[in-house]
Each structure stands twice: as structure tokens, then as C-alpha cells.
Chain A
Amino acid sequence: MKYISIQNNQAIPADSIPESEYEQFLEMNLSLTGNHPERHCVLYFGHRENDMIRLICCIADDIQHNILVSSARVSGNETLRSLSAANFSFEKFERELNENFGIGYSDHPWLKPVRYSEWRADKNSIIANYPFYNISSEELHEVGVGPVHAGIIEPGHFRFICNGEQILHLEIQLGYQHRGVEQLFLEKKRLIERVTLAESIAGDSVIGHTTAFAYLLEALSGKKADDEMLFSRTVAQEIERMAIHTGDLSALCTDVAYQLGSSVLGRLRTPVINYFQEWCGNRLSKGLIRPYYNPFPFTRKLADRLAEVFDRFEPDFREINAEISTLPSTLSRFERTGMLTYDQLLSIGTVGMSARMNALERDIRKSHPYGLYSTLNHTPVIKHHGDVYSRVQIRKEEIWQSITYLRELIKNIPEPVNSHVNEAGLLPEQFAVSLTEGWRGEICHAALTDDKGNLRVYKVKDPSFHNWLALALAVRNNEISDFPVCNKSFDLSYCGHDL
């Protein structure tokens, strides 16, 4: 087998990634993932090298806790067999390769633009001309929603094909949020520029993305985060998770017109994000995580404040949840709405809480632990119904789990390390992958450096990259009036997808 096995956040020489002929590369990655639910593709990308395109595929093995990296080289002019024809979870990656490099696929089932990147191969392909799927029938009608939506929310276009009130098909077209993040990582050379960029990938997952960025840069420069950094990053990740989950539970109540739940949960989020402000000066934690150093050490005083926040949060959170889970008016909207089966989730490569809602255990905190997660012995919250209510329950239980972890963690605050900022250059010709479990799920950052230690390629993958398709499938055969609550139950990122 021509692949190399690496760990999360382990840098390897770029030329140590074994290269195969494309056909062998394809067969090998298909056989690694076929009938192996414990293995899935975390990243598959290409980059130009001389006149060729080098393809690099990273398959994560959740049981062995490693990542299997392989590569192939293609010219970009030939038409290739796709991996997606046999394993649909590769579909988005191959669409991206097609969009960015013009690589043709003979048997890709859904070869459409991904985000209309500024650096796409075909500049004639423009966002206004997206090739929507359609069904011609006098019985059916189409409903177009967006890109500008009715709430304070990011832009994207949803095209429904409906039979009366019933949704037969939903196609989600994105790209409106494309800012050129991956390219800007290469152009901006200073650490403060790059970390500011990482914080802006998705403003609701600042900790998730910036932590992935920080571990990746540290790996590529041969540095290790000290105990204080590991501690702060882990604490911050769990606070971010419970803050956003709480806000989402509020929004889910809004979408089923349960005003009391919406108000109570909305205001319960406030002290949690205000806590971030007390810690680092920003309610959404921008400025808190930096590679190589810890700008806001966690103190005993901060620990006591966090315990205070939880003491006040818990009784009100418990009370409102008891009400939500017994009210017929909320349950009738949540239960059996927007359902997905385990097989569907597996086939499209769903990650994070959207996978865990129906028995598909995908959780980087357990499968590829980083930070202090190996010491927490994390057990993922798993649900078995795949409906909106499962997504509600997962959030609720993960909030309790985060509180439990945080109360445990703050018992042992690491001694302050007298670390002064020690920025380090990146080592030449390295490759590394960094995975973190943000509140949505698996966040993946990967990079290659050139012979001078500059970034040659920087790749970002938000969990939304996979999970948007889960939303599109979940609403089939539901009433179109249930779309908002389905959408909110996933709460996917537009900017994280469009980059």
C-alpha cells in the first residue's frame, strides 16, 4: 500500500508522501474507505507543481488514530475516473478539483461548481448561471430563497422543487461568501496577519479554526505548545461549544414560535460570551488564541468566575430544557422532522454533531485527540433518530458535558510558564494536517511549505463543507414550512464553506 501514516499535528517531509499512478491511487483510497465506517476522507486537494497537478488525499482512521496520506500526479487535461462514482463522500472534493484546476471526470454524478472561487479554472462560469437541477412537470413548482435571507444571516441560495407544500428536492448553491482565505494565507507573511485571517474564517467558530491553525503552524515549525496553551485552548473550545449550542437552542425555539424558550436561552448565552470578553476582551474570543504563545493566561480568578457563571447558568438551563422536552407544541415540530438515516450520513461523509445525531461516531476529540482531550477520556454524545429533536438533544447534552469537563479542568490550572513570544519560522518542505473538533464538527487545516519555508499551499475545511448536503437531504418529503427549523438545527457555516 502506497501511503504514509501520520498523526494529527505531525509534520512530515513533503516528499515522504508516497506517489502512485492515478488509477492505483483511486483504487487504494476507495478500498481504504469502502466498508470502513471508521475511516473517512478528511481532506483531498490538489496543487500545481511545475506543469502538473499533485493530488494529496488524507484518510483519517478513527480506530487506529492516524491519518493515511497518499498522492498522485495528473496533468489536469485528461478526463479521469472519479472516486465519487464509487464513494459519494468524495464528491465535494472532486468538484473543488474540477472548479479550481479544470480536471475533468467521466463518471462524477454531480459535477457542479462549489464556490465560484476567484482562482477557478473557468472564468466564464459565473455565480448567476449556476446549473440548477430541475424536473419538468406541471404538478411541481420551484421556490427560490436567497442569497439574501429574511434574518440576520449569511447569504446562500436555496432552490426547492415542491409538490404543493412538500419538498421533493432542495439544492443549496453557495459561493457568495468567497473572500479568498486560502490564497490570502500564502500572501500574508506575518504571523499576526495570518492569525487574524484564521479568526475570520468563521466568526462563530473562532476557537475551532484558530486552534487548528495554531497547532498546524507549531507542527510546521517544530514547536510544541506548552501546558498553559494546551489548557487555554481546550477550555476555550468547550466554552465556545456551549455558547454557540445555547444560542442555537434559542434560535430553534424561535423557529417553532416558542417565545419563552427563545428568550431564556438567548439570554443564557449572554453571560457565557461575556465571559470570553472578561478573559480576552472580545465576546467571540477574537484575540485569545495565538500560535507559540498565550496572550491571556488563565488565572485562579478566571476559574472562580467561570464556576460562578455556571452556578447561575445551570438551574435556569435545566428548567427551560425540562419545559421544552415536555411541551407538545415544541415536540411536535422537533420530532420526526428533517430525518436522516445512518446510511445517508455515512454515504455523504457527514461529520461532527450532524453525524452523531444518528449513530455515526465522528468526533476528533476522541478519534484524533489534541490539546487535553486525551486526558479527558472524551465519550461522544450519540443519538439514534437523526431528526431535529436529536440535534436539539445533542446540543443540550453536549452543553452539560462541556460544563462537566470545564469544572474538572479548572481544578488544575497549570503553573504560568514564563513564556515570552517566540515566533518561529516554518521548516522547509514540510506537510502537516491539523484536526480539531469545533462545535459543528471536524475542522481541518493543512499546509505544505516550500524550500524556503514559505507556505506553498494552505487548505481549510470547515465541517460545513460536508454537512450542507446533509441539510439538503434532510428536508426531502418535509413541508417547506419546516425548512427554517431544519436549517437552524444544522446551523451550518456559509463563510466557512466559501472561504
Chain B
Amino acid sequence: MFNTIKILYHQGKQYIPDLRAARVPGIFRGRPEISSLPADVNALAGCCPTGAISVDPVAIDLGKCTFCGECSRLFPGKVKFTTDYRLATNDRNKLIVKEGETKPIVLDEKLIRTEIRRLFSGSLKLRQVSAAGDNSCELELNACGNVNFDMSRYGIEFVASPRHADGIVITGPVSKNMAVPLQLTYDATPSPKIIVLAGTDAISGGIFAGSPALDRSFIENNKIDLYVAGNPVHPLTFINGIADLLGIK
């Protein structure tokens, strides 16, 4: 007992007091900004491993971006990654950052189904489905619940069964072998329910896009309520994205 109290005392305060205004340490690669400086745009587009960069105007699709930083390494005057970790939106097009844009990525309030905030803003239980995810997004989603990030302060939690859940969070590019289990998990979740895509692999297939071993029909055939970009998603990106969806201040 005495030891336990001693350990607790030594821990001090570990939680991040304000998750909505927290800053990330170090050189995090978050929302990029593309300057209007001239550059060999075809070479710029060509350096991307996943074809996330388009030209005319130059734009980076964060749903495809693996955040490897190769473009900013080769074209430091043209592309800079800021430490802005707010990379979640419900409008797929908002993940495309164009030349000259410096505004934050936000949700489109009009696209949020009315029942989401009415039913889930005080309590949202989520079932996670890893569909060929590489365990990096899975580790970060687990971290959302640790004592540092403590996502459950908002009533947002991952639960053990789809029967207990209000929605599913998909990671990974969705392999053929996971297509049926993914559908079954979604079907087992009671309505109304939301679908969240966490990470570049889930949003676009990432580096695996186009592999014949994938089956992305579930993603293509269902309405997605939130896209959370990252490789892997940062816990702050995920928590703030969900909080924005639920209208948590």
C-alpha cells in the first residue's frame, strides 16, 4: 500500500491538461504549406512515393500522403510541413492542401449528420477494425487512451464488441482477406453508427494503393463520417478530429 502511494506520488501529473490546445514536441510533420515560389513541379510531383502531389495548382492530398517528408527535403523552399496536427475532416476534398493555402483543416459542419451530435456528443463508444493495418495506427489509437492523452475524459472510448459501439474506426488499406470480417463488424454495430478512417492507408490505400491483394469496396460504398490523416495518425489528431465531429469545445 505504502509503495503504491509512493509510486503514485512520484508520477505527478501526467495528463495533457488541454488536449484542444496542446502542442507537439520536436519536428512533427503535420499540415504542409506550399509556397508560390517557382519550382520544377513535375519533379516535385514525381518525388512522392504515393502520387499525393498534383500540379497546376500544386497540391498535396493528405489522404494519400505518407508524411515521409521527401518533397520538403528535395524542395525545401516549396514545401514545408508545419507542426499543425489537426488533419481530420469529414470532407475528403478538404484533405487536399493547395499552393498558397495556410488555413487550418476543419470539418464541414453541414456534412455532419444531425444524429451524431444529438446522440454521441456526451458518449461515443468505438470499435476498432484493423484491416491490414501495419500496427502503427493501432499503437497510436491505443495511446489515445493512456494516461497522457486520456481521451475518455470526453466520454470517447474504444470498446471490445461492435454490439457495444456507436461506430467503427478502420485502420489499414483493407486486404481482400479482411473485406468480409470488416463488413460483418459493421453490420454487427447497431444503428445509427459512424465510420471513421484513421491513417493514410485506410483513407487511400497509402503505399499499398493498387495492390491486387486489397478490396476497398467497403470504403467506396459507405459514407465516411471522418477522415483522420497521418502515417500513423497522431493521438492529438485523432482526439481533436473526433471532438470536432461531436462539437466538443
Contacts and interface: CB of A to CB of B under 8 A. Distances in A.
Interface of A: 116-118, 127-128, 147-148, 150-155, 175-180, 183-184, 188, 190, 192-193, 195-197, 200-204, 206, 247, 260, 263-264, 266-267, 270, 274, 277-284, 286-287, 295, 315-316, 319-320, 323, 493-495, 498
Contacts of B140: 283-284
Nearest to A295: B73
B55 interface: no
A179 B214 contact: yes
Contacts of A176: 132, 175, 177-178, 181
A196 B207 contact: yes
Residue among B70, B135, B211 with most chain A CB within 10 A = B135
B212 A118 contact: yes
B141 A179 contact: no
Contacts of A274: 25-26
A315 B10 CA distance: 9
A200 B134 contact: yes
Contacts of B139: 203-204, 247, 284
Interface of B: 3-4, 6-8, 10-11, 14, 24-29, 47-50, 66-70, 73, 81, 128-143, 146-148, 158, 160-162, 172-173, 175-178, 180-181, 184-185, 201, 206-208, 211-214, 231-232, 234
B208 to A, nearest CB: 5
A116 B136 contact: no
A381 B173 CA distance: 37
A495 B133 contact: yes
A393 B4 CA distance: 21
B7 A286 contact: no
A177 B133 CA distance: 7
Given A188-B207, A196-B66, 11 more contacts: A148-B185, A152-B138, A196-B49, A200-B207, A202-B134, A263-B147, A266-B146, A281-B27, A284-B136, A284-B139, A495-B133
Contacts of B130: 152-155, 177
A206 to B, nearest CB: 7
25 contacts: A150-B160, A152-B138, A152-B141, A152-B142, A153-B130, A176-B175, A178-B175, A179-B211, A180-B212, A193-B50, A203-B136, A203-B137, A204-B139, A247-B139, A267-B146, A277-B27, A278-B26, A278-B27, A281-B29, A284-B139, A295-B69, A323-B3, A323-B4, A495-B132, A495-B133
Given A154-B130, A178-B175, A287 B27 contact: no
Nearest to A320: B7
Contacts of A201: 134
A179 B174 CA distance: 8
Given A153-B138, A495-B135, A264 B208 contact: no
Contacts of A179: 132, 173, 175, 208, 211, 213-214
Contacts of A127: 177
Contacts of A281: 26-29, 67, 69, 81
B199 to A, nearest CB: 9
A301 to B, nearest CB: 12
A320 B8 CA distance: 10
A279 B28 CA distance: 9
Contacts of A116: 177
A204 B139 CA distance: 8
A2 to B, nearest CB: 36
A498 B68 CA distance: 24
A316 B73 CA distance: 38
Contacts of A263: 11, 146-147
A151 B146 CA distance: 14
A320 to B, nearest CB: 6
5 smallest CB-CB distances across A and B, nearest first, come from A203-B136, A278-B26, A150-B160, A203-B134, A180-B213
Nearest to B199: A203
B70 A192 contact: yes
B177 A154 contact: no
B61 to A, nearest CB: 15
B213 to A, nearest CB: 4
Nearest to A293: B73
B161 A154 contact: no
